[in-house]
Amino acid sequence: MGGSENKRNGMTEVKEHFSEIPTMTSEPVHRYLTQLGIEWKGLGAAMELGCWLGASSVPLLMGLITAGYDKQFWAFDNWVANEQQVGMAREWGIEIQVGEALMPLYNKNVSKIYYRITTIFGMIPGTLVSYSGDPIEICILDAPKKNPVFINTIRALYKYWIPGVTILGLLDYKFYQRFEGKKREQLEAPARFIEDNKDSFELIREWENECPVFFKYIKPLKNI
Ligand SMILES: C[S@@+](CC[C@H](N)C(=O)[O-])C[C@H]1O[C@@H](n2cnc3c(N)ncnc32)[C@H](O)[C@@H]1O
């Protein structure tokens, strides 16, 4: 066990973490991901876009295997370390270099939990052409937060969502709230998308001091 400040969430929260995987998401969100996995209904695949080293994939997978998940888990990322990531990993005592390919570290972390992982390396949304097209039950987005990447990601995936079933986790949903002006406007893309399609979603989980918000997809999108 160790303590670490959750830097991305920009908060003062000091958290205890049971995992040794450097994370950009917090313990309450990890617990919720596990819960979501446990509630998997067997109707579609689970995926995460923006996995980094696996800190959010692992709790989701832990829940999924409890539920008997037997499909591919789809993991998308470009897995190239930048300066911010190098600093964050160092807080966990993990040394990576700027430009380092991180997919091997991701694979090492998630393969302890589940073996049917399809890792798709490269830039979203282009890499989404590799997706099989199977129905998606759990769709976690932690990479695309600005347009056009965000909306093109949604356009590539929403046809595989299941009305009344699919859970959409937007892990950067409230990130815009820390900024003003142009940057805030750019980061509002996920919130604007939900607002433009509010009849299609039901809010299922949010936290006061966390960026992520989870929705259930209810019915076809109107503004896409
Ligand atoms: C916020 S981090 C993910 C953190 C991780 N989910 C966690 O909880 O620790 C976002 C990740 O998405 C990747 N990423 C950002 N934009 C991307 C894009 N357009 N295509 C692929 N990967 C991208 C980054 O390199 C990074 O690994």
Q: Which atom of ligand 1 is nearest to the CA of 122?
A: 21
Cis peptide before 125 (omega within 30 of 0): yes
How close is the Cα of 143 to the center of ligand 1, in Å?
A: 4
Q: Which atom of ligand 1 is nearest to the CA of 25?
A: 8
CB atoms within 10 A of CB 93: 9
The whole-model pTM stands at 0.92
How close is the Cα of 78 to the center of ligand 1, in Å?
A: 7
> What is the rounded distance in angstroms from the CA atom of residue 107 to the CA atom of residue 206?
29
> What is the rounded distance in angstroms from the CA atom of residue 43 to the CA atom of residue 104?
30
How close is the Cα of 16 to the center of ligand 1, in Å?
A: 23
Architecture of the domain spanning 3-217: 3-Layer(aba) Sandwich (3.40)
Question: Which residues are paired to 77 by β-bridges?
Answer: 121
Dihedrals phi, psi of 84, to nearest 5 degrees: -65, -40
- Residue 56, ligand 1, Cβ within 6 A: yes
pLDDT at 20: 86
The pLDDT tens digits for 75-109 are: 999 999 999 999 999 999 999 999 999 999 999 99
How close is the Cα of 48 to the center of ligand 1, in Å?
A: 10
Tell me which residues of the chain have a pLDDT lower than 70.
Answer: 1-18
Q: What is the mean pLDDT of the chain?
A: 91
Q: Which atom of ligand 1 is nearest to the CA of 57?
A: 6
pLDDT at 6: 40
**Pocket of ligand 1, candidates 94, 142, 171: which has the most ligand atoms within 8 Å of its Cβ, to mutate?**
142
Report the candidate in 92, 114, 69, 81 with the shortest Cα–Cα distance to residue 19: 92
